[in-house]
Structures are given as structure tokens and as C-alpha cells.
Amino acid sequence: MRVYWAPHTRSLRALWMLEEIAAPYERVRVDLQAGGQRQPAFRAINPMEKVPALECDGAHVAESGAIVAFLAEKFPQAGLAPPVGDVLRGRYLQWLFFSPVIEMAITQKFARLEMPEGSAGWGSFDRVFKVLSEILSASPYMLGETFSAADVLIASDLHFVIDVFKLLEPRPEFSAYLERCRSRAAFLRAQKIDADGV
Ligand SMILES: N[C@@H](CCC(=O)N[C@@H](CS)C(=O)NCC(=O)O)C(=O)O
């Protein structure tokens, strides 16, 4: 497998997941400042001209959420997703798909967009983080007691909204969750790769 990535971007999600499944992979750094994402060779991998992207057995997948979901299924032995047919899989998929919902809420806040809650698919910024707060006050991970690929996405979102963009005040339940997720050996390895840039 090969991951196309750039430091300090959503690539961290793909790196984290790759480190979680602990399968061999190589990294190809895309120089975003130099426009590497717009080169024809990279556009053939991801026509959206964005990182991360993954190559696996000659096939390509982009969108960080899809990469995380794909890896969880390709490597079931990592135990990061309830198997197909398990009723818990419904909730797992719900939280995987909630990540773009969170991103919309963040975008709304960032851009100071006024939207009616009833027609905005994410309701509102406050509603999204109230729901996450309720879940993470009651259980250590999004699916309860067990860390899953959904946490790779949700913890990344919380990291960006609290620590990077500072759009949300830290709250004890979020800080504890981030601490649990970010103390994982796989995350620490991914973080080091991201910081070292290689
Ligand atoms: N929805 C995409 C977003 C990826 C994305 O926006 N990547 C940014 C870095 S965080 C990027 O590659 N930007 C380069 C560009 O658009 O030119 C995902 O989750 O993978």
C-alpha cells in the first residue's frame, strides 16, 4: 500500500489508521505548496487534487473517511469495525458518516453562516457538539467501550475544532476522549511522522 500525504493536513487520519492496522505501507509526500496535487500523475489518483489518497493493489481511494472505512474492512483482524451483519455496525456507520456532518458544522461556524437549523443537515454547530458531548460523557468511545475506526475520524475532528481552529472551548469529556485516543501507540507514531514530515 502507498499513501499520498502532506504534513499538518487531513492526511493524519490516513496515517493514524495505517498505523492502527499495522500493515506495511509506503509514504509519498505531495508538496501542496509547489502544486504537486495538481500534477497529472496525482490527478489520476485523486481528481479532487487533495490529500490523503491511498493506493492498494493497484486501486485508488481518496477522501479520508473512505480511506479509514476501507482500511477497517480490508484488515478486519485489527478489530476496528463491527463485522457486516452485526447490528452494532449501523451505529458504527452512523458515526463514520457523522464526520462530514461535523465538518459542515465547523465550516458554518468558521464562515459565520446563518442557516435555519431545520434545513441544515447538521442542525447547528451547538447541536452537533451537544450530541458528541452527551455520548462521550457517557462512554469512553463513540461505540461505547471499544475504540473503532469511527473514533479515528471523530477524534480528528475534535482535535481540529478545539486545538487547531479554537472554535470550541475545551470541555472535560472532550479532553478526556482526546487524551484516550491520542495516547494510542498508533496515533503517537502517526503524529511523529506528521511532525517529521517524512
Ligand atoms: N474531504 C477531503 C478533504 C481533503 C482536503 O481538503 N485536503 C487538503 C489538505 S487538509 C488538501 O489536499 N488541499 C490541497 C488543495 O486543495 O489544493 C478528505 O477528507 O480527504
Mean pLDDT of the chain: 97
* Burial category of 88 from C-beta neighbours within 10 Å (exposed 0-12, middle 13-18, buried 19 and up): middle
Residues whose CB is less than 8 angstroms from the CB of residue 168 and which lie 6 or more positions away in sequence, other chains included: 129, 161, 162, 174
**What does the pLDDT average to over 95-101?**
97
Top-tier CATH class for 88-184:
mainly alpha
pTM above 0.75, yes or no: yes
Residues whose CB is less than 8 angstroms from the CB of residue 98 and which lie 6 or more positions away in sequence, other chains included: 150, 154
Top-tier CATH class for 2-78+186-196:
alpha beta
Give distance in angstroms: CA of 5 to centre of ligand 1. 10
Residue nearest to atom 9 of ligand 1 (CA): 9
- How much is the pLDDT for 5? 98
Portions of the chain given CATH number 3.40.30.10: 2-78+186-196
Residue nearest to atom 10 of ligand 1 (CA): 9
- How much is the pLDDT for 155? 98
How sure is the predictor about 185, in pLDDT bands with cuts at 50, 70 and 90?
Answer: very high
**Range 41-48, long-range pairs (CB < 8 A, 24+ positions):** 42/4, 45/4, 46/4
Strands 53-56 and 59-62: antiparallel
CA distance 101 to 87: 22
Which of 32, 50, 101 to mutate for ligand 1's pocket (most ligand atoms within 8 Å of CB)? 50
**Amino acid making up residue 44:** A
Task: Calculate the alpha carbon distances from 141 to 6, 23, 136 in Å.
Answer: 28, 24, 6
**What does the pLDDT average to over 12-34?**
98
For residue range 115-160, list pLDDT tens digits in order.
Answer: 999 999 999 999 999 999 999 999 999 999 999 999 999 999 999 9
CA distance 40 to 69: 26
User: Which residues have CB under 6 Å of ligand 1?
Assistant: 9-10, 32, 37, 49-52, 63-65
**What does the pLDDT average to over 153-174?**
95
- How much is the pLDDT for 4? 98
Portions of the chain given CATH number 1.20.1050.10: 88-184
For residue range 33-61, list pLDDT tens digits in order.
Answer: 999 999 999 999 999 999 999 999 999 99
- How much is the pLDDT for 190? 98
